Amino acid sequence: MKLTKYVLLDRDGVINYDSDDYIKSPEEWIPIDGSLEAIALLNQHGYKVAVISNQSGIGRGFYSLATLNAMHDKMRRLLAEKDGKIEAIYFCPHAPNEHCLCRKPKTGLLELFSRENNYPLKNIFFVGDSLSDMKAAEAVSALPLLVKTGKGLKTLSENPYLTIPIFNNLYDATTFILTSSKF
């Protein structure tokens, strides 16, 4: 029996445009060019996609859980139009001062994904745009891939000695994933 293949993605700055003021509504949730096509391409090649995302805007009172769900509904609807699908979304709703175990770079969301899907984290691709994404991936022996979209360029300028694969965007990272010899 062949193992299901997964790719993990951060959301803001990887799939959709990010903002220092937070993405607070479905209207503000705008996909990055090529990101939805990248997810659909992963699906077409047998990969399931799960999102692992800090959403501290909830804990900070910037938007509600219902609003977050509406943003995710929009993402799923737009993906369906491209024949793409996200299997699951794992998010941390806590503000940084709550010191939870799920906010990246902590590994709680990744571990929850692993338990719920009975899927090993070792060598799974995790695409993100921040140092916290990269640290969370490395802490569970996942394979971190950094994109320059979102906070990616800032992450690179503040951490010029990163020794991980770096891509312009999710579509370029997807091309790498599909041509890797992992599977």
Determine whether 21 is an active site residue: no
Task: List the catalytic residue out of 12, 18, 129, 133.
Answer: 12
CB 69 within 8 A of CB 61: no
Determine whether 10 is an active site residue: yes
Closest listed residue to residue 134, CA positions, set 116, 113, 152 = 152
Closest listed residue to residue 169, CA positions, set 1, 10, 4 = 10
Task: List the catalytic residue out of 10, 129, 133, 172.
Answer: 10
Distances (CA, A) of 93 to 10, 68, 89: 14, 10, 12
List b or e across 28-44, with b for residues whose CB sees 16 or more CB atoms inside 10 angstroms.
Answer: ebebbebbbbbbbbbbe
Q: CB 95: neighbour CB atoms within 10 A?
A: 15
Give the residue numbers marked as catalytic: 10, 12
